[in-house]
Amino acid sequence: MNSKLLSRAVGQLPAVKRSPMSFYSLVAIYIILILAPWALSYIEGLQIRGWYEELVTLLSISGMAMMLCQFTLLNGRVDAINSRIGVDNSMRVHNKAGEYLAILFFLHPFLIGLPRFIVAPSFALDNLWIMFTSAESATGVYAWSLLIVLVLMAIKKNKVGLSYEAWRYTHSVGFVAVIILATHHAVTVGRHGRYNLWFDVLWIALCAVAVSVVGYVYFIRPRSVSKRPFTVVDCQKGSADDWYLTIKKDADFQFEFDAGQFVWINTSGSAFKRNEHPFSIASSPRSLPELSFVIRNLGDYTKQLGKLQFGQRVWVDGPHGVFTLNARNAQGIVLLAGGAGIGPIIGILRGLNDRGDTRPIRLIYGNRNMAQMMFLDELIDMTKNMNLVTTLVLNDAPDDFPPTGFQGHKGFINQSVIEATGQGYNTQNWDYYICGPQPMVKAVERTLQQLEIPQSRILYEQLGF
């Protein structure tokens, strides 16, 4: 079997060779998709009486379309989609759309009854009670209640201490239940479903697609992943707060990636347990068959990484992501890393170093203190082969900061630090790569926008969704 066929047989996509779609392009496509069923209702001649009924119809149909998009277009695990739109773009829209979706679903029964409240409040309350307690509306009420709980869990998961594994399973299984219940409600109670067969077919078909995607992620894909085992080579402390994990292919299978991509790692002992976590690759493609990762010690799972044993089998689902240099024509590169965000950034730098890239490359690397810094000696060595300048940014800097060979800044990554990277150059065609915790990524992205850096020149990957 040739390598191309073998790659397909085990679910391995070739490394990404295109630039990701911009965030705003994805938003535009998303809006078109959720409005399409409403527009089709006009083509099919759906009878609507008055502007208010039209508004409620628009919100109801679009809300249903939004929910179905959450686990199809914005699933985050379908390679054919993510390789074009980018996982971070997908999750960014997924999270924000989920908040709006919760609001739409919460308001749905009240919007239907609002005209009656205005005309006859007491009669409207009776109608609302009947709506919530009648057998006919049961599936809609179940979907309505469950969705609100799931969205609140997603928004507050960190504050309530919900483990990643528990959140992921409840999120996926719960939304499958919501999709099925809401679809049943739409085709049996919704007026556009009861009186228009094509709406029934549309919702049922889209529901089947959404459920199939979840089924693929949890049942079909693990079979492919199980054929691609890796083993642990080493797991040691890379800094005061970070693990440096190295794994190696444990069988003869095709695996390739681009510097900057990430994978899902499963250390549970079985590829079918789906106890997996996403980590960015810190090594360059030339390091294969080994892969390395920088993992910050934050949650229950990462605190247990020190227990991994040499030779222990793990499974890798990937590579994923478009946080790469492919299909880019930048004349210079600025890399901005916060904390464990140095993982994919050092991978990109290692890839550039392997190729002997001569473009100006500027690294801004932030942490709380020097004990959290990694790869400083390696970064110094890279300056021998590349036009690399590294600026270290610390909140708590020692008196002898910065170390020899580095520029330094005390505080946070701000506008002046970023502007200094381009001194002496025309930075109009430079690319900016950001990776770190969500607050850092958002703050740096805002700063770049204030500096009038085109959105097409900004790529980011945030740690945690």
Q: What is the DSSP string of 116-134?
A: HHHH-HHHHHHHHHHHHH-
* Residues 228-320, CATH architecture: Beta Barrel (2.40)
Rounded to the nearest integer, the mean pLDDT of the chain is 85
Looking at residue 5, what is its pLDDT? 31
Q: pLDDT digits over 31-73, tens only?
A: 999 888 888 877 766 666 778 877 888 888 888 898 888 878 7
Of 131-140, 306-315, 332-341, 419-428, give the lowest mean pLDDT range: 131-140
The correct answer on CATH 1.10.3470 for the domain covering 17-223 is: no
Angle of helix 164-188 versus helix 197-215 axis, rounded to 10:
160
More confident residue, 325 or 374: 374
Q: Does the pLDDT of residue 327 top 70, yes or no?
A: no
Is the pLDDT score of 247 beyond 90? yes
Which of 10-14, 233-237, 338-342 has the weakest average pLDDT? 10-14
Own/partner long-range contacts of 151-155 (Cβ < 8 Å, ≥24 apart):
151/98, 151/99, 151/101, 151/102, 152/102, 154/95, 154/98, 155/99
Mean pLDDT over 428-434 rounds to 93
pLDDT of residue 14: 39
| Beta-carbon contacts of residue 174 (< 8 Å; ≥ 6 apart) | 146, 149, 150
Q: What is the mean pLDDT of residues 132-152?
A: 84
> Angle, to 10 degrees, between the axis of helix 50-70 and the axis of helix 164-188?
140
Question: What's the mean pLDDT in 415-432?
Answer: 91
Query: Rg of the Cα trace of the chain?
Result: 25
Q: Which pLDDT score is estimated for 276?
A: 85
Mean pLDDT of 240-244: 93
CATH 3.40.50.80 is the classification of domain 332-463: yes
Residue 315 binned pLDDT confidence (cut-offs 50, 70, 90): very high
For residue 100, the model assigns a pLDDT of 87
Domain boundaries, the chain: 17-223, 228-320, 332-463
Q: How confident is the model at residue 124 (pLDDT cuts 50, 70, 90)?
A: low
Is pLDDT at 86 greater than 80 in this prediction?
Answer: no
Taking the whole predicted model, whether its pTM rises above 0.85 is answered as: no
Please state the rounded mean pLDDT for residues 412-441.
92
- Order of strands across the sheet that contains 262-266: 276-280, 262-266, 313-320, 229-237, 242-249, 290-296
pLDDT tens digit sequence for 351-394: 999 999 999 999 999 999 999 999 999 999 999 999 999 999 99
Averaged pLDDT for residues 235-257: 93
Compare 262 and 6 and report the one with higher pLDDT: 262
* Whether residue 15 has pLDDT greater than 70: no
Q: Does the fold of domain 332-463 match that of domain 228-320? A: no
CB atoms within 10 A of CB 119: 9
Exposed / middle / buried, residue 246 (Cβ in 10 Å: 0-12, 13-18, 19+): middle
Per-residue model confidence (pLDDT) at position 48: 64
> Of 443, 156, 164, 157, which is closest to residue 279 (Cα–Cα)?
164
**Percent of the chain at pLDDT above 90?**
42
